[in-house]
Amino acid sequence: MKKGKKLYEGKAKIIYATSDKNYVIQYFKDDATAFNNQKKSVIDGKGVLNNRISEHILKNLSQIGIKNHLVKRLNMREQLIKFVDILPIEFIVRNIATGSLTKRLGIVEGTVLNDPLIEYCLKNDELGDPLISREHIYAFNWAKKNEIEKINKQLLRINDFLIGLFRGVGIKLVDFKVEFGKVRNSSRNEIILADEISPDTCRLWDAKSEKRLDKDRFRKDLGNLIQAYKEVASRLGILYEESNIREVNFKKAKAIKLKKNK
């Protein structure tokens, strides 16, 4: 499928048109941002890791019935995805208190919540992505009541799945942020999971040491962000596959070079 013009560029990704109006190509950038784009940097390789980790997670979510925009990964930085109109809401699920929750409410860092806490934020960088209520969502018609109820059920299923996935590799799922969108040209106005799920959008702590394995390493100037993302990918069994691909490509290139020299 041929890549067309750039449709949109966000903080971490670029969306390109394709020859089919129902699909777009999502390109993962190396840009790192925090605090509503107030802190910025470029970290080589971040986009490659997020592309692969998100693909792995979204494919697994599809297998448990969570519909999402992923069609397939095209290469190291790009995915073919369904064209969706993103709802202007960020959905946050918290299992352990940290970040803005502790600052807003004075909750002790690391407090384990009895039940997952779902929060909603308006997607608006200029306003600082403010926290909103369901009543705000309904009052301003950002989504309908039945749509939010359906999304909330999916959020809890996603949370259960991710907790199990990461627990199996020695990682605590602290919290995560996701987005949903309406599928273009769908007569049912179907809403599906969109964007990405990666260490950029999740807080992930090592189960024993509570070492941060996510974007907090950038937010808090902890350093070694790429090493942390690689550790997540390695534990999920992803880096091994990529290293094999690189080895095969290296051997092919070497064989071609030797053939030319003969």
For 59-110, the pLDDT digits (tens) are 999 999 999 999 999 999 999 999 999 999 999 999 999 999 999 999 999 9
31 phi-psi bin (left φ>0, alpha ψ -120 to 50, beta other): beta
Q: How many domains does the chain have?
A: 1
* pLDDT tens-place string over residues 27-44: 999 999 988 777 899 999
Q: Which domain holds residue 131?
A: 3-229
Q: Are 25 and 16 in contact (CB under 8 A)?
A: yes
37 within domain boundaries: yes
* CATH of residue 208: 3.30.470.20
Does 261 map to a domain?
no
pLDDT at residue 245 is higher than 70: no
| Side-chain half-sphere exposure of 217, counting CA atoms within 13 A | 20
Give me the pLDDT at residue 254, please. 52
Higher pLDDT pick, 74 / 256:
74
For residue 237, being part of any structural domain is answered with no
Let me know if residue 254 belongs to a domain: no
Residues 6 or more apart whose CB falls under 8 angstroms from that of 79 comprise 25, 26, 28, 51, 54, 55, 70, 71, 72, 73
* In a domain? residue 27: yes
226 and 45 Cβ atoms separated by less than 8 Å: yes
Tell me: the pLDDT tens digits for 195-227? 999 999 999 999 999 999 999 999 999 999 999
Q: Is residue 134 a part of any domain in this protein?
A: yes
**Given this model, what pLDDT does residue 75 score?**
96
Q: What angle do CA 37, 42, 45 make, to 5 degrees?
A: 125
Residue 98 lies in a domain: yes
Q: What pLDDT shows up at residue 251?
A: 45
Buried b (16+ CB within 10 A) or exposed e, 52-65: bbbbbbbeebeeee
User: pLDDT, tens digit, for every residue of 134-152?
Assistant: 999 999 999 999 999 999 9
